[in-house]
Amino acid sequence: MVFVFFVKDSKIETYQKMWRFMENRPSVFVSDYEEGIKRVLEGNYAFLMESTILDYSVQRDCNLTQVGGLLDSKGYGIATPMGEIF
């Protein structure tokens, strides 16, 4: 997932420390968002995820919450054919 690359290559000490913790514990990694959310709901697990999916998930399940702010800021664009009404 994108977050792995973000912390793995970060120059920020906090994220470097997070990566060292995570790389020595392969069991903390999940293969997809659904698995991460499932582990959060089972307890004792924090899942760091992309903000758009996080916002959607938190709105759909009242047992989920976002803690803290964004780690970074990125915009999204959607391409459509020229002249297309969307």
Q: What are the pLDDT digits (tens) for 29-51?
A: 999 999 999 999 999 999 888 88
Tokens of 84: 């297309």
Structure tokens at 80: 């459509």
Q: Which two tokens stand for residue 4?
A: 């792995």
Q: What size, in residues, is the chain? A: 86
Looking at the predicted structure, is the pLDDT value of residue 64 above 90?
Answer: yes
Would you state the pLDDT for residue 32?
Answer: 92
Q: Check whether residue 39 and residue 17 sit in a common domain.
A: no
Res. 15 pLDDT band, cuts 50 70 90: confident
For residue 82, count other CB atoms closer than 10 A to its CB: 4
pLDDT of residue 80: 87
Distances (CA, A) of 50 to 19, 46, 69, 72: 17, 13, 12, 10
At 10, the amino acid letter reads S
The parent domain of residue 37 ranges over 31-65
- Angle, helices 33-42 vs 51-60, to 10°: value is 50
The answer to whether residue 76 is domain-embedded is no
Same-domain pairing of 21 and 47:
no
- pLDDT exceeds 80 at position 79: yes
Q: Please count the structural domains in the chain.
A: 2
